Amino acid sequence: MRRLIFTSAIAALAVAAGPVPSSSVTAAAVGTSAPPPIVIKAVRYDPPGSDTPATNAKLNAEWVKIKNRSNTTRMLTNWRLRDRQGHVYRFPTTRLGAGRWLKVHTGRGSNAPRHRYWRRDWYVWNNDGDRAVLKRANGSFVDACRWGDGDGKKEC
């Protein structure tokens, strides 16, 4: 009897609350959440040609592309990008505009709004498989991209 009363009460509340948008029901039903506004969009982990000699031009052909999918500018200052081996790039003062992207290049260069430079003398991303992880300044997870041995570029 209690179950019948409880079920009837829930049904009455649902009717009183009115219709729920189908997208809300779907997301709640499957337990998904909205994708993060900042994502790793792509990784060029094995640029064309031989790895050696490791010239600055070759190192800068290795990059990670970060995309702001939101409609507001986001601050990435002190965020971190890392690989499995523990190489860490810390973003300097960085504003990423709405809908914009930037690339973090492995080699040396002058930072610009769409290009950041890690200033390394050797490659970071492993050609036969690795994982790029992006974290906020407080260490919380933002996004990751993983690949195996492939054609040198991974769309995430």
**Which CATH fold would you assign to the domain 38-155?**
Immunoglobulin-like (2.60.40)
**Residue in this structure with the two tokens 């507001």, named with its chain if needed:** 72
Q: How confident is the model at residue 17, as a pLDDT?
A: 44
Mean pLDDT lowest among 10-14, 48-52, 61-65:
10-14
Q: Over 70: is that where the pLDDT of 148 sits? A: yes
pLDDT tens digits along 3-16: 444 344 444 444 44
Sorted by where each begins, the domain ranges of the chain are: 38-155
- Name the band, by pLDDT with cuts 50, 70 and 90, for residue 122: very high
Q: How confident is the model at residue 32, as a pLDDT?
A: 61
Q: CA 112, CA 114: separation in Å to the nearest integer?
A: 6
Report yes or no on whether pTM surpasses 0.75: yes
Instruction: Give the CA distances from residue 69 to residues 26, 65, 74, in Å, rounded to whole numbers and listed in that order.
Output: 22, 12, 10
Instruction: Give the CA distances from residue 2 to residues 6, 10, 148, in Å, rounded to whole numbers and listed in that order.
Output: 6, 12, 56
pLDDT tens digits along 92-108: 999 999 999 999 999 99
